[in-house]
Amino acid sequence: MMTRKPIIAGNWKMYKTVQEAKDFAAGLLESLEKLENGTNAEMVICAPFTALAALKDELEESIIHIGAQNMYYETQGAYTGEISPLMLTELACTYVIIGHSERREYFKEDDALIAKKVKTALDFGLTPILCVGENLALREAGQALVFVQGQVENALRELSPEEIRKIVVAYEPIWAIGTGRTASPQDAQEMCAAIRATLARLAAEAAQEIRILYGGSVKASNIAELMDQPDIDGALVGGASLDFLGFTELIGSV
């Protein structure tokens, strides 16, 4: 079976001032050095836009990758309040979360907008972390699988297989985000396997290379059993990424 390098990506959401981001970065680098067995995971911190310049100073030369949590799909223009991919690459970002469920829900982002953002991120050399996931009503109605496969297809349909090869997908059931309620490893695996099957329909050869992350109340105590699943290649971590000691412990548990 093909080995995929795991990714542990922190999503700070709307937390951390510039000073707090600097303190976190310094603390994380120091505590990672003390990890007994090191880590083979690719580590990413997805920070608010305002903290990215500080993270560039602290982390650009380190093993930790910098990511944003959103972007617009134009390079520049009259789009008040938006941030372009060019602005992100200038700040040493290599990853960008696209289509997080909070963006879909509170900011009304739809699949068509998300598809444009994924395409533009790739055009600028950013790795999009495409988030998909069902709400509780869909899960209880037995429609989770079909819904999530549709989200993946709608976001990627226009891309070439070579473009699809470069993306990362995060399966994040909405009912598990920030709730303390994690999907069981079996349920998460079933969904991630279905996502990989969808990817295979869009880009047959690339599907086995694409990293699929699980997200939703991941912590040090449950990450290992999730990542033991054959189609789960890492985690997108919200709450448990905010404290550098806790995040180090989580990375050490992979």
Question: Hey, which residues are catalytic here?
Answer: 100, 172
- Tell me whether residue 238 is annotated as binding: yes
Stretch 107-136 residues interacting with ligand PEP (CB under 6 A): none
**Closest separation in Å from C-beta 17 to ligand PEP:** 19
| Of residues 109 and 172, the one with the C-beta less far from ligand PEP | 172
Vertex 232 angle, CA 112 and 170, to 5°? 25
From CA 67, how far away is CA 47, in angstroms rounded? 6
Residue 40 annotated as lining a ligand binding site: no
Q: Is 191 in the site for ligand PEP (CB under 6 A)?
A: no
Q: What φ, ψ does residue 35 adopt, rounded to 5°?
A: -65, 125
d(CA 134, CA 144): 6
How many angstroms separate the Cα of 153 from the Cα of each of 94, 112, 183? 24, 11, 23
**Contact call for residue 85 and ligand PEP (CB under 6 A):** no
Which of 85, 128, 239, 252 touches ligand PEP by CB under 6 A?
239
The one among 236, 250, 251, 254 contacting ligand PEP by CB under 6 A: 236
Residue 177 found at the interface with ligand PEP (CB under 6 A): yes
Number of residues that bind ligand PEP (CB under 6 A): 14
Asked if 230 and 4 touch (Cβ cutoff 8 Å), the reply is: no
> Is residue 135 a known part of a binding site?
no
* Count of CB atoms situated within 10 Å of the CB of 117: 24
> Of the candidates 42, 58, 109, 172, which one interacts with ligand PEP according to CB under 6 A?
172
SS3 at position 253: coil
- Residues 195-234: x where in contact with ligand PEP by CB under 6 A, - otherwise, as a string: --------------------xxxx----------------
Spatial distance between the Cα atoms of 71 and 63, rounded to a whole number of angstroms: 23
Greatest extent of the chain over all pairs of C-alpha atoms, in Å = 50
Interface contacts to ligand PEP, rule CB under 6 A? 11, 13, 172, 177-178, 215-218, 236-240
Binding site residue list for substrate = 11-13, 178, 217, 238-239
